[in-house]
Amino acid sequence: MYVTKRRFPVLVLVFVLVLVLQPKELMAPVAVTAIMLTMPGGSGAWEAQGASELVPPLGVVDPLRPYDSKRLLDDARTLARFYPEVLSLTSIGQSVLGNEIPLLKLGNGERHVLWVGAIHGREVMTCAFLLLIAEEYANAYCNLVSYDTYSADKVQELLDEFTVFLVPMANPDGVDVVTSGGSALVPIRDRDTWKSNAGGVNLNRNFPFDWESNIFDGFANNYLNNKGASPGSEPETQALMVLCEDNPFELLVSCHCAGKMLFWRDDKNGEVPGDESLAGTIAGLTGYTMLPSTKRALNGWAGGLENWFRYRYNRPAICLELGLFDTADEMTAAQFHSEDMADWSVNRNLVWGVLEGLPGV
Ligand SMILES: [Zn+2]
């Protein structure tokens, strides 16, 4: 009894010191193990590895089940905990209904590029696409391994030179409408086709670029072209604008569905330095069609994110129409991987390819 009484305070002191000092070699495996225990299917088999090899397995992101705002946040948090060396999670703001608009920063470089997904609610697959990019690229970087045709050295080099800003779900309320029942604001008949935010505004018509040329407004035009009450009236639009103002992005790619094509120039802005080069790179990698310069304001450039970006920064911005279908249904792996959907075996290299195609790389 005497020995126990003497040892107890010593053990408490050691425990407190570990908590206070948090030596990395002690805490990191504990923290990662704790996360694994909360993951479905986390077997813990890899936990026996040494601390330096503690890189989690792939499989957090499931692209076959359409994302909603909650699952996006859950998975983004898990990825940021798994790969802190190269991936961080913040929020660029909140939606009309108060949902976070997550931002994943992938890489440690001083050169910044921006990829945006699901600015249209029903185009939910683009969210899974960007999340999967985040997971697989971060995993390759942390494992010091190659990724498809990109060598381990190239993976390190690209993510040390660049930081890829990923906003996988710019319109969380709109996505929730189509994947998880949405809001009382939205008529049931519209849920499968919903593109707008919870206020019925098409965010890709709400940016302050020739906004007046769009004649569509009001909730009656909700899922198509409602431009909103004023330029940049929506919180989601404002969040993206502030993000762009705060970071000198070399380019923007806004992912949509569908069409297997890309919009890369409009007649209002004309040529933007680097636009044809970037579009050519993406067309070459994807096999998608480069459309002619957009000729009309209405249903064309008025209020568009990429059009505003070209105007504001005189830098290239692409609207990428990924695959042929927008769907909020669960899909099979074969569907997701098919050329008419994500074409993952080809398009998983897209972000690497775009970085590699930039000047000075
Ligand atoms: Zn779209």
What is the structure's pLDDT at 39?
Answer: 35
Q: How far apart are CA 117 and CA 61, in angstroms?
A: 15
pLDDT tens digits for 242-257?
999 999 999 999 999 9
pLDDT, average across residues 76-90: 97
Greatest mean pLDDT among 119-123, 315-319, 327-331: 315-319
CA of 301 to the centre of ligand 1 (A): 13
CA of 319 to the centre of ligand 1 (A): 9
* Cα torsion through 167, 173, 179, 185, rounded to 10: -160
CA of 297 to the centre of ligand 1 (A): 16
What is the structure's pLDDT at 199?
Answer: 87
CA of 58 to the centre of ligand 1 (A): 29
Domain ranges of the chain: 13-54, 60-361
Q: Quick one: pLDDT band at residue 27, thresholds 50, 70, 90?
A: very low
pLDDT tens digits for 155-198?
999 999 999 999 999 999 999 988 887 665 666 556 677 889 98
Residues 6+ positions from 185 with CB-CB distance below 8 Å = 198, 199, 200
Q: How far apart are CA 236 and CA 271, in angstroms?
A: 28
**41 near 62, Cβ under 8 Å?**
no
What is the structure's pLDDT at 283?
Answer: 98
CA of 120 to the centre of ligand 1 (A): 5
What is the structure's pLDDT at 92?
Answer: 98
Asked if the model's pLDDT at residue 67 lies above 80, the reply is yes
Q: Does domain 60-361 have CATH number 3.50.50.60?
A: no
Q: How far apart are CA 229 and CA 90, in angstroms?
A: 28
pLDDT, average across residues 194-212: 93
Q: What is the pTM of this model?
A: 0.84
Q: Which residue has the higher pLDDT, 23 or 312?
A: 312
Average pLDDT, rounded, for the chain: 85
What is the structure's pLDDT at 222?
Answer: 61
CA of 180 to the centre of ligand 1 (A): 19
- Percentage of the residues of the chain whose pLDDT score is greater than 90: 71
CA of 107 to the centre of ligand 1 (A): 27
- Bridge-partner residues for 33, per DSSP? none
Asked if the model's pLDDT at residue 260 lies above 80, the reply is yes
